[in-house]
Homo-oligomer: A and B are copies of this chain.
Amino acid sequence: MFLASDNTSGVPEQVLAALGRVNDGFSLGYGADDLMQQVQAKIRTLFEAPDAAVFLVATGTSANSLAIATYVQPWSAVYCHRHAHIEEDECNAPEFYSNAKLSLLDGDHAKIDAQALETTLTNAAEGVHHVQPGLLSLTNLTERGARYTVAEVTRLAAIAKAKGLPVHMDGARFANALVAEGCTPAEMTWKAGVDVLSFGGTKNGLLGVEAVIFFDPAKAWEFELRRKRGGHLFSKHRFLSAQMDAYLTDDLWLDLARTANARAEALEAGLTKAGVRLLHPRGGNMLFAEFPLKAHDALRAAGAVYYDWPAPPPQGAGGDHPHQCRLVASWSTTEADIARFIEVLTAAL
């Protein structure tokens, strides 16, 4: 019952096997490996974007920070949700890479409200004293587990583009959003107005690989220089390529996300049946729930691992204290885990 984060899972055997296969012999480094060509070709096909430029890095923070930095200036405002990962969980990395200012927007479930974006952009002060509108960054799934629909991405991107802003999508959980939405990768991204995507792999079954996909390749060389300057260019790059290649082979990435989402769906059903209040609509594989502290105690005693969210219970809180938590399913979460979780919870209520 390990529901702390999808990044606490390991990787499926196909990914490990790919590392073994690519290990033989010598290979040029720094992205010049043959397999990287194949990865780029696969992603272009997958996204129906024959000109896309594709790069691999090993962490989500670097993917986001480098992607954003490539599109903005040090005097830019990057518009994102108040609870975006780039704002709350990256220790200033986006600012480090871009020197820009994150300008925070509101909206339920960590989804940017379209009206808030419109108002903010309309009221953005012009002139040299102020940061200049720079980029819109959307996180899908959001940090509260909700999902932007294709229509919502399209609308937000249209508002941004009407002001000349490029659009970035932090897709650390892109696969989970995609399979839940039931659309194509192109529909969720460039067809909806996204210019650059952080295409997550790590949370969905890789050891540590994210792709940065530029639908317009004009920024490719600048990205390459930024990646190197950030220390994010791997010498033995083939080991990143191999992971991403395995991920894209035979729809592995979609299967992994479907499994994670199915587990979260089962969890949601169980929680609902048990009368537990869910704090945000489930967009994919992540839930936020509130239930009495005594049930948390029972779950922890039974070995469940997950985060108190947003904070630990107050000292001396009684068993009936309504306490909130985050529950994340991954590709390796089992049906048995979910069943047991619900069983323990239900018994404790």
Q: Which A residues contact B (CB, under 8 angstroms)?
A: 2, 4-5, 7-11, 16, 19-20, 22-30, 57-63, 65-66, 73-75, 88-93, 95-97, 99-102, 104, 123, 125, 128-132, 202-203, 207-208, 222, 224-236, 239, 305, 310-311, 332
Given contacts A10-B24, A28-B8, A101-B102, contact A93 B228 (CB under 8 A): yes
9 pairs of A and B residues whose beta carbons are closest in the complex: A62-B231, A2-B26, A61-B231, A7-B235, A10-B23, A91-B228, A75-B225, A207-B239, A91-B229
Q: In the complex, which of the residues B11, B65, B131, B235 contacts A202, with contact meaning CB atoms closer than 8 Å?
A: B235
Given contacts A123-B311, A224-B128, contact A229 B28 (CB under 8 A): no
Q: Which residues does chain B contribute within 8 Å of A230, judged by CB atoms?
A: 62, 93, 96, 230-231
Apart from A93-B230, A96-B230, A128-B225, list 9 A-B contacts with CB within 8 A.
A2-B26, A8-B29, A19-B19, A19-B207, A75-B226, A91-B131, A92-B131, A96-B99, A230-B230
| Bound form: Cα–Cα A63–B231 in Å | 8
Q: Are A239 and B92 in contact (CB under 8 A)?
A: no
Q: Which residues does chain B contribute within 8 Å of A123, judged by CB atoms?
A: 310-311
Q: Are B100 and A92 in contact (CB under 8 A)?
A: yes
Q: Are A16 and B7 in contact (CB under 8 A)?
A: no
Q: Are B25 and A4 in contact (CB under 8 A)?
A: no
Q: In the complex, which of the residues B7, B25, B128, B132 contacts A236, with contact meaning CB atoms closer than 8 Å?
A: B7
| Bound form: Cα–Cα A25–B305 in Å | 13
Q: Which residues does chain B contribute within 8 Å of A228, judged by CB atoms?
A: 61, 75, 90-91, 93, 128-129
Q: Which residues does chain B contribute within 8 Å of A29, judged by CB atoms?
A: 5, 7-8
Q: Are A92 and B101 in contact (CB under 8 A)?
A: yes
Closest Cβ of chain B: how far from A42's Cβ, in Å?
Answer: 21
| Bound form: Cα–Cα A231–B335 in Å | 34
Q: Which residues does chain B contribute within 8 Å of A125, judged by CB atoms?
A: 88
| Bound form: Cα–Cα A10–B28 in Å | 11
Q: Which residues does chain B contribute within 8 Å of A28, judged by CB atoms?
A: 4, 8
| Bound form: Cα–Cα A315–B25 in Å | 32
Q: Which residues does chain B contribute within 8 Å of A30, judged by CB atoms?
A: 128-129
| Bound form: Cα–Cα A230–B88 in Å | 15
Q: In the complex, which of the residues B26, B59, B92, B208 contacts A99, with contact meaning CB atoms closer than 8 Å?
A: B92
Given contacts A8-B26, A58-B58, A207-B236, contact A129 B91 (CB under 8 A): yes
* Most central of A11, A24, A66, A92 by chain B CB within 10 Å: A92
Q: Which residues does chain B contribute within 8 Å of A11, judged by CB atoms?
A: 23, 236
